[in-house]
Amino acid sequence: MSLLKEGQSGRRWQAVILAGLAGVALTVGAGLAMVTTDTAGFCGGCHAMSEAVLTHSQSVHSKLSCNDCHAPHNIVAKIPFKAAAGTRDIYVNTLGTVPDLIHPVGNTLEVVQANCVRCHTSTVMTVNMDNKESCMSCHRHVPHTPRKPISTRKAADV
């Protein structure tokens, strides 16, 4: 298990160097790119993301863009984050091996969690928010409905 993780992050590090340029171009190119590259349309352009896009589209948050959750809101933090994450995604997808199971890695959960709180502050500020690991401990369906039968969220790739 841990061995495998090491292998993957090794590849990721390589990814940042190798595909760095492409990534930077894609993610910090222009203001327009900044918005485009946040959307479900952009993320979903990639095959590996199809399940996430599908389940997202079925969720209450379907009007949000992916990076409303998946990138830091603060623009100073957002740009490097997007560059690194985007670079990795692209590298793994084109040159690497897409794993059988895509798990949130690194600080993904923290980033997402911060976004939940950002939008829902008034709802949650009256209770103790460190009572669970994350919002998803209770709101397990947000937004990728992992416990739904697989046939309602996945099929083999053609």
Partner 1 sequence: VEPVTPVYKTNLPKEEIRNSQFEKVFPLHYKTYLRNDESTIMTEYGGSVPYNKHDNVNPLPEGYKHAQPYLKNLWLGYPFSFEYRAARGHTYAVDDIMHIDRINRYDEKGGLPSTCYNCKTTMMPKFIEEHGQDFWAKDFNQFRQALDAKDHTIGCTNCHNAETMELQLYSEPLKAFLEADGRDWNTIPRNEKRSMMCGQCHVEYYFQKKEFGPAARPVFPWTEGLDPENMYTYYKGHGDSTIKGFEGQFYDWIHPVSQTPMLKAQHPEYEMWSNGAHGAAGVACADCHMSYKRLDGKKKISDHQWTSPLKDVNLNACRQCHTDKTPEYLRGRVVDTQQKVFDQLLIAQEISVRAHEAIRRAAEYAGDKPASYEDLMIEAREWCRKGQFFWDYVSAENSVGFHNPTKALDTLAKSQQYSQKSVEAAIRATGFAIAKDLDGDIKQLVPPILNHSRELMMDPEHMKSHEWFKYLKVAPKAPLIWDGQTRVAPAGAAS
Q: Does 13 bind partner 1 (CB under 8 A)?
A: no
Residue the block writes with tokens 């009007």:
63
List the x/- string, 34-53, binding to ligand HEC by CB under 6 A: ---x--x-xxxxx-xx--xx
Of 6, 1, 86, 100, which is closest to residue 46 (Cα–Cα)? 86
Instruction: Note whether 6 binds partner 1 by CB under 8 A.
Output: no
Rounded CA separation 107/81 (Å): 10
Q: What is the dihedral of CA 3, 5, 7, 9, to 10 degrees?
A: -150
Footprint of ligand HEC on this chain (CB under 6 A)? 8, 37, 40, 42-46, 48-49, 52-53, 56, 60-61, 64, 66-70, 85, 89-90, 92-93, 98-99, 102, 104-106, 108, 112, 115-120, 123-124, 126-129, 131-132, 135-139, 142-144, 146-147, 149-151, 156
